[in-house]
Amino acid sequence: MLRIFFLSLFIIFIAYQLRVYVDNFKVVKGREEMVNLLEGVTIKAYSKQGIEWTIKGKTLEVVGKDVRFFGVELTSEDAHIWAGEAYIDRFTGKGKLLGGIRLHSKDITAIAKEAYVDLKEGEFGGDGEITLTEGKNRVEGTGFQIKLRPVQVIISRARVIME
């Protein structure tokens, strides 16, 4: 009787250990996405107004439909935009720029910390602070929208500094 009891406990213990072993190999349920990392990347994108964008980045990370650039430069014949990071949706062309953003076009130079970009519409804007320079004149403000073709600049709460 005692042998049967210990044999039963031994079988239960082995079954438990096997269950733990099998559970270690189960795929964790949840969202899994493949992440690709590329270095020294150049991509072309086109807007509805005929603007051809060349997007260059030191590194590119692709996660699903989102593309994340580090050390990014967006170039067209109308403007050059530099930023520390850029998050762009591959399908819509909309994204966010972060970290020392600088936009330089034929007429203006704009500096901001954070902005949204719509490559399909050729728009650049945000809610944060911006400094815009045109020749010797400088405009500082909070909240902005810049259309690149034709060039239109809207700055909320602007302060003009003329020199």
Task: Give domain limits for the chain.
Answer: 35-161
Which tokens go with 132? Answer: 């815009």
Q: What is residue 161's predicted lDDT score, i.e. its pLDDT?
A: 78
Q: What is residue 21's predicted lDDT score, i.e. its pLDDT?
A: 82
Q: What is residue 12's predicted lDDT score, i.e. its pLDDT?
A: 92
Walk along the chain (163 residues) in steps of 10 and give the mean pLDDT of each run: 85 89 67 65 79 85 82 87 89 88 87 89 88 87 86 83 73
Provide the residue count of the chain: 163
Question: What architecture does CATH give domain 35-161?
Answer: Sandwich (2.60)
State CA 102 to chain mean position distance. 16
Q: What is residue 26's predicted lDDT score, i.e. its pLDDT?
A: 65
Please give the full DSSP string across 86-135, using - where no structure is assigned: EEEETTT-EEEEEEEEEEEESS-EEEEEEEEEETTTTEEEEEEEEEEEET
